[in-house]
Amino acid sequence: MADMSQGSTWIGQVVTPDELITEGAVVTVDGKIAWVGQASQIPAEFDAVPIVELQSNSMIIPGLVDVHCHGGGGASFPDAESLEQVEVAATEHLKHGTTTLIASLVTAPIDVLEKRAALLAEATRRGLIQGIHYEGPFLSEARCGAQDPRYLIPATPEVTKRLVNAAEGMAVTMTIAPETCLDDQGKESVRILAEGDILPSWGHTDCSVDQAKSAIQTGIDALKATEGIVRGGRATATHLFNGMRPLHHRDPGPVPAFLSAAKSGEIVVEMINDGIHLEPALVAEVLNLVGRDNAVFVTDAMAAAGMADGSYVLGPQEVRVEGGVARLAHGNAIAGGTSHLLDGVRTAVVKGEVDLVDAVYLASAQGAKILGLKDRGRLEQGMRADLVVTDDNLFPVTVVREGKEVA
């Protein structure tokens, strides 16, 4: 029998995947969610579970899931040389509500990527992060953004195998420019990713609409050919609109192909909803078009997240942050985000007028679905007890992971 004293009852405005329970409660026992519903209807069996005193108007949302993050708290995953540095970056986001985090690398020499992947694989085994995202090196030089063009290369099976092996089963996604995987070598590289339980993520691309469609189909075919389902079974588009040829009425580029594929449920489009990378109204319109089940909020955060303006690094590149906006020190390209995922939820609700339930879903349940994680991302009975208590303005107050207060 569960020890009820090892749990907590949280009472406030509860955000589930389907509704806002204004006078709700979440009961956690032994690291799991034992019950969710109206506070007035808590079953008697949970009478012995201690009630946590919260401020009035507190909101209770699921722990957030970020599938694209380069760092925070002054530490950078692409530059980390120790588990302590990885922990600094992960903790910065954890204390702001992100209880499941994917660590993103950037383009670098292959031997450097292998070394970083090995470190992040160990960090994953230790529970500091949930897995690895390779952003590069198979990207377009014309749309490389903050990626170092010196190390961009065409997709080849040989390099793909090296990166898959270096991650020791802990890589979950890889960003690839569609134009790099149109030939046999590129298609074989995508197949190798799928066999390694790694989802392709289309981005950093200067491709045409037809090339994007071809790559999307290559990904679909590769994922279907594997035994079982790779993660959540759908490829993604890396930070939609950013790092790709812009939409033009005579030169449409990849954006309409990504939107169409998302609307039909074939892929999921990432959006950096920090108010800098994308206008919040555009984010809202994309959601109106493709629906919440086909989009996900990410931070693309780098080391400056949670830090003051100043100089930072992102892989081989120097970055200058001014007014919270990160740009390459040599050039003007935006070099990642400086926000936390909860900031994106707030921006969606306050500036984009996105429904609160949908905004939370895009930052929690959807990321878990992409990764194939069925035990988190939702405040539902049986889920892992990951939750965030916020004030009524969606600023974090308390963070709980697996039933334990961690921030």
Rounded CA-CA distance 16/314 in Å is 36
Domain with residue 321: its CATH number is: 3.20.20.140
Contact assessment for residue 33 and residue 385, using Cβ atoms and an 8 Å cutoff: yes
Asked whether residue 210 falls in the same domain as residue 315, the answer is: yes
4 — pLDDT class (breaks 50, 70, 90): low
Rounded CA-CA distance 201/243 in Å is 13
Q: In which element (H, E) is residue 185 found?
A: helix 184-195
Asked whether residue 39 falls in the same domain as residue 105, the answer is: no
Which residues sit opposite 102 in a β-bridge? 131
Contact assessment for residue 132 and residue 102, using Cβ atoms and an 8 Å cutoff: yes
Rounded CA-CA distance 260/59 in Å is 35
pLDDT of residue 3 exceeding 70: no
**14 torsion bin: left (phi>0), alpha (psi -120 to 50), beta (else):** beta
pLDDT of 315: 83
Spatial neighbors of 7 by CB under 8 A, at least 6 apart, are: 27, 28, 29, 30, 34, 46, 49, 50, 403
pLDDT of residue 139 exceeding 80: yes
The reply to whether omega before 17 is within 30° of 0 (cis) is no
The helix-helix angle for 341-350 and 280-290 (nearest 10°) equals 90
In the chain, the percentage of residues whose pLDDT exceeds 70 is 99
For 263-315, write each residue's pLDDT tens digit.
999 999 999 999 999 999 999 999 999 999 999 999 999 999 999 999 998 88
For 220-239, write each residue's pLDDT tens digit.
999 999 977 899 999 999 99
Domain carrying residue 396: 4-62+379-405
Please report the DSSP string for 126-164 in residue order: TTS-SEEEEE-SS--GGG-TTS-GGG-----HHHHHHHH
Rounded CA-CA distance 308/321 in Å is 8
Q: How far is CA 369 from the centre of its chain?
A: 11
Asked whether residue 125 falls in the same domain as residue 216, the answer is: yes
Which residues sit opposite 302 in a β-bridge? none
For 63-119, write each residue's pLDDT tens digit.
999 999 999 999 999 999 999 999 999 999 999 999 999 999 999 999 999 999 999
331 — pLDDT class (breaks 50, 70, 90): confident
Asked whether residue 211 falls in the same domain as residue 69, the answer is: yes
Closest by CA to 396, choosing from 71, 130, 92, 36, is: 92
Asked whether residue 164 falls in the same domain as residue 39, the answer is: no
Asked whether residue 354 falls in the same domain as residue 311, the answer is: yes
Most distant pair of Cα atoms in the chain: their distance: 66
Asked whether residue 198 falls in the same domain as residue 179, the answer is: yes
The pair phi, psi for residue 355, each rounded to 5°, is -55, 135
Domain with residue 392: its CATH number is: 2.30.40.10
Mean pLDDT of the chain: 96
For 199-224, write each residue's pLDDT tens digit.
999 999 999 999 999 999 999 999 99
1 — pLDDT class (breaks 50, 70, 90): very low
Neighbouring C-beta atoms of residue 393, cutoff 10 Å:
10
| Residue at token pair 């929690």 | 364
Asked whether residue 178 falls in the same domain as residue 54, the answer is: no
pLDDT of residue 146 exceeding 70: yes
Asked whether residue 116 falls in the same domain as residue 34, the answer is: no
Give the up-direction half-sphere exposure of residue 374: CA atoms within 13 A in the CB hemisphere. Answer: 3
Arithmetic mean of pLDDT, 28-40: 97
Asked whether residue 27 falls in the same domain as residue 77, the answer is: no
Query: How many structural domains compose the chain?
Result: 2
pLDDT of 2: 57
Asked whether residue 220 falls in the same domain as residue 340, the answer is: yes
Rounded CA-CA distance 222/121 in Å is 24
Asked whether residue 359 falls in the same domain as residue 384, the answer is: no
The helix-helix angle for 110-125 and 83-94 (nearest 10°) equals 60
Arithmetic mean of pLDDT, 191-202: 98
